[in-house]
Amino acid sequence: MASSTVYRDLLLHKRHGLPFWTPEPDANLPEAYRDRGISIGDLGLLTDDGGFDYLFNIHATADDPVNHLGTPTDFNPLQKPGCGIRKIESFHSERSCITRNIATRLANTIGAGADITYVFGSFFILALFIFCTGQPV
Amino acid sequence: MEFTVTEERAAMLVLPHGADRYEAKTYQIYVEHAIQHGEAWYRFVNQIQRRGARNDSLYLVTGCDKGRSWGLAAGSQLQEHTVGFKFTGGSLAQGTVGFHASWTTADGLESRKYPRSIMDTTARVNQCVFARGIVIGINENILKRAFSGTVRRKQIGSSRSNPFPAVGNRVPFGSPPGNSELPASAPQSSPPRDPANESSFGDLSHQQQDATDVGDSDNTSSVIVQVFPQYPKQVSLFPNEVYQLLKSASGVESWFLYLRISPVFSRPPLDAILQALI
C-alpha cells in the first residue's frame, strides 16, 4: 500500500479532516494562489497520491488571478459570507505532533538553548518536561 | 523529535509552527451550491478541460488547517524502530528563510517535509495539512440514462487499491456530446461504496454513518453530495445519557444538564467534565 494511502487512512482517525500527503500548493499555479494555498471555496479533484488538484475557487470572480486556470462558461461566484468563516489561530500549537501507532517519542533540539522532551502514550500526553541546557543549537 | 514506531503501519505529522484552523459556518450554502452546480462542474472538468475526473473525486473545500511548515511520514510493513525529525534555525514566530527541517531515514518509512531547503520561506501560511469539505458525485443512474444501453463496466482489481473517499470508476460526461459510448472503466478500480472497501478502514465505519447523502441515490437527483469528513460539527449528547453517567459517578439523584461538544475529541471531554463536576 502506498505510504500516502497509509498516511491518509491512519490520520483520518484523528478527526481533524482529510490529511494531505502534499500540503504544499501546486508549484505551477499562479503566485496569487501559491500565496494562500488551499482555501475555503476551492474546488478541485482529490488525487490518489494524497493531494488536491485545484480547479477554481467558487468565491473568486472569473478574472481573479486564482481562477487563471479557467471557470465554467456560466460561472457566477458565490458571495463570500461576511463573518461566515471561523478562524482559530494556532489550533495546532507550535511543535505539535499528530501521530498514529507511535507509542513513545522523545524530543529535543528546538530553538536557542531549550530542550523539550515529550513523553507520549498512545492517546494521551503523559508528561511534558522542559530542560534548559543553555546549549546552542 | 524522535518517534518509535509500534505497529506495522504508522503515520505522523509534525507542525513546527503549528497551524490555524478555518471553518465555513454557513455550511448549508455550500451544500446547496454543490447540488446546484455539481453537474455543470463535472461537465466543465471532463468536457472542456478533458481531465478525465472520476466520479466522486470532485471536492469542495469548506474548512482547512494551514501552517507554515511540516514534516510528515508514513509507512506499512514497518518494524519497531525509532525515527527522528529535526528542525533548526529561523524564528518560529516570524517565519523566514533559514528554517531547516530534516528526517532521519528509516527502512520502509516514506517522509516529506516543508521547507524543503533552507532557502524556502516560511513566511506564508499556505500549507494545508487537513481539509474538510464536500465530495460531489453524479448519480450513476443518471449517467446510465444519459448513455442508455451502452454502459460497460469492468470490475477488476482489489478493493484496497480504491482511493478513499470511494472514488468511482466512471468519468462523468467523459465522452464528447453525441457520443453515446462511455469510456471503459479504469481497470484498477472497483465499484464505489463497495462494502468490502470499508474493511480496510477499521473503526472509520462510524464516520461513514455520520456522512450525509444530501441528494437521493435514486433516479430523481443528478448530483449526490457527501460531507467528508463531517467534522467538526456540533453534537448533542442526550441529557439522559449524561444524567446516567453523573448519577453513577456521583450518587446525586437529580441533574439537569445539556452539553454540546465537538466530536473532535468526543470521549475525553465528557470524562473531563465529570471530573470537574465531582
- With CB atoms and an 8 Å threshold, state whether B63 touches A10: no
Q: In sequence order, which residues have a C-beta less than 8 Å from that of residue A69 and are 6 or more positions away?
A: A29, A54, A55, A56
Does residue B69 sit within a domain? no
The secondary structure of B108-169, three-state, reads: CCEEEEECCCCCCCCCCCCEEEEEEEEEEEECHHHHHHHCCCCCCCCCCCCHHHCCCCCCCC
Shared domain check, B263 and B213: no
Shared domain check, B203 and B259: no
Q: Which chain A residues are within 8 Å of B199, Cβ to Cβ?
A: none
From A17, A97, A106, residue closest to B229, measured CB to CB: A17
pLDDT in the model for residue B140: 76
A80 touching B, CB under 8 A?
no
Helix H or strand E segment including A107: none
- With CB atoms and an 8 Å threshold, state whether A23 touches B12: no
* Cα distance between residue B54 and residue B173, in whole Å: 10
The dihedral region occupied by A7, where left means phi > 0, alpha psi between -120 and 50, and beta the remainder, is: alpha
Shared domain check, B217 and B139: yes
Q: The domain containing residue B213 runs over which residues?
A: 22-63+130-228
* CA-based nearest residue in chain A for residue B201: A9
Shared domain check, B222 and B146: yes
Does residue B101 sit within a domain? no
Which grid coordinates are listed for A29? Answer: 499555479
Shared domain check, B250 and B200: no
Shared domain check, B221 and B143: yes
The model's pLDDT over A28-65, given as tens digits with 9 standing for 90+, comes to 999 999 999 999 999 999 998 999 999 999 999 999 99
pLDDT in the model for residue B234: 56
Domain boundaries, chain A: 3-67, 95-137
DSSP per-residue letters across A41-95:
TEEEEE-TTS-EEEEEESSS-TTSGGGTT---TT--PPPPPTT-EEEEEEEEPTT
Does residue B36 sit within a domain? yes
**Does the complex come out with an ipTM higher than 0.90?**
no
A135 touching B, CB under 8 A?
no
Shared domain check, B134 and B271: no
Determine contact, residues B148/B181, Cβ cutoff 8 Å: no
Residue A23 has pLDDT above 90, yes or no: yes
| DSSP, res B192 | T
What amino acid occupies position B265? F
- Distance from the Cα of B144 to chain A's closest Cα (Å) equals 23
Q: Which chain B residues are within 8 Å of A96, Cβ to Cβ?
A: 14-15, 18-19
Residue B157 has φ and ψ, to the nearest 5°, of 100, 170
* CA-based nearest residue in chain A for residue B85: A107
Cell 488571478 belongs to which residue?
Answer: A65
Shared domain check, B177 and B267: no
- Distance from the Cα of B127 to chain A's closest Cα (Å) equals 5
- Distance from the Cα of A63 to chain B's closest Cα (Å) equals 17
Which residues is A96 bridged to in the sheet?
B15
From B33, B45, B228, residue closest to A58, measured CB to CB: B33
Does residue B247 sit within a domain? yes
Q: Which of B213, B228, B243 is the last residue of a domain?
A: B228
Domain count along chain B: 2
Q: Which chain B residues are within 8 Å of A22, Cβ to Cβ?
A: 112
Helix H or strand E segment including A32: helix A31-36
Residue A126 has pLDDT above 80, yes or no: no
Shared domain check, B224 and B245: no
pTM of the predicted model, to two decimals? 0.70
- Of the candidates B33, B10, B191, the residue with the CA atom closest to the CA atom of residue B83: B10
Shared domain check, B266 and B214: no
* Cα distance between residue B92 and residue A95, in whole Å: 10
Shared domain check, B140 and B215: yes
Q: Which chain B residues are within 8 Å of A72, Cβ to Cβ?
A: 37, 40-41, 43-44, 48
pLDDT in the model for residue B241: 46
Distances (CA, A) of B185 to A106, B153, B155, B163, B192: 48, 6, 8, 14, 12
- Distance from the Cα of A75 to chain B's closest Cα (Å) equals 9
Shared domain check, B135 and B253: no
Instruction: Give the residue-averaged pLDDT of A3-8.
Output: 95
Determine contact, residues B78/B9, Cβ cutoff 8 Å: yes
* CA-based nearest residue in chain A for residue B206: A13
pLDDT in the model for residue B227: 82
- With CB atoms and an 8 Å threshold, state whether A92 touches B60: no
- Of the candidates A48, A96, A15, A1, the residue with the CA atom closest to the CA atom of residue B72: A96
From A45, A84, A98, residue closest to B51, measured CB to CB: A45
Which residues is B127 bridged to in the sheet?
B67
Chain A, chain B: beta-carbon pairs less than 8 Å apart: 274
Average model confidence (pLDDT) for chain A?
A: 80
Helix H or strand E segment including A116: strand A114-120
- Distance from the Cα of B94 to chain A's closest Cα (Å) equals 12
pLDDT (tens place) for every residue of chain B, 278 residues total: 888 888 889 999 999 999 999 999 988 899 999 999 999 999 999 999 999 899 889 999 999 999 999 999 999 888 888 888 888 866 665 556 678 888 887 778 899 999 988 878 888 999 999 999 999 988 877 666 665 544 344 333 333 443 455 677 788 887 655 444 444 434 443 344 444 343 333 333 334 434 444 444 455 678 888 888 876 665 544 444 444 444 444 444 333 333 333 233 333 444 554 555 54
A62 touching B, CB under 8 A?
no
Which grid coordinates are listed for A109? Answer: 533540539
pLDDT in the model for residue B145: 65
pLDDT in the model for residue B91: 60
